[in-house]
Homo-oligomer: A and B are copies of this chain.
Amino acid sequence: MKQVLVIRMDLGMGRGKVAVQCSHAAVSSAEQARIRFREWYDKWIQEGQAKIAVKVKDENELLDLERRARAMHLPAYVVHDMGLTQVPTGSITCLGIGPAPVNIVDTLTGELALL
């Protein structure tokens, strides 16, 4: 099992902002898995909650990944930032996918560069 956190690079977010957006995606995508894919969630927690952070160019690339994740019925969550700092209110900053089986997630995000 693996969770993938996909950060959008064109907003120029700083290190702390990126960490917070990824954390938001991680909590919300995990919560979705806990409710809808309980077996995946439990296995992921037992295995130590594997996660990776990867990057995409812009909002289009992020939303395209989200569409493909939903078409594959994977847990997925898009973070809209409150925009109190650094980025405009409502900006899409990060996408969480999974936890889900590694081989399934990899067909979607396996080619993306690590953050």
Asked if residues B19 and A22 are in contact (CB atoms below 8 Å), the reply is: yes
Known pairs A23-B26, A23-B53; list 20 more (Cβ under 8 Å): A5-B23, A7-B19, A15-B18, A16-B52, A16-B114, A19-B19, A19-B22, A19-B23, A19-B53, A20-B22, A20-B51, A22-B22, A23-B23, A23-B25, A23-B51, A24-B26, A24-B49, A26-B26, A28-B49, A48-B82
Q: Report A19 CB to chain B, min CB distance, Å.
A: 4
Q: Report A44 CB to chain B, min CB distance, Å.
A: 10
Give A1-46 interface residues, CB cut-off 8 Å to B. 3, 5, 7, 15-16, 18-20, 22-28, 30-31, 45
| Chain A interface (Cβ < 8 Å from any Cβ of B) | 3, 5, 7, 15-16, 18-20, 22-28, 30-31, 45, 48-49, 51-53, 82, 114-115
The main secondary structure of chain A at its interface with chain B is: helix
Q: Report A35 CB to chain B, min CB distance, Å.
A: 12
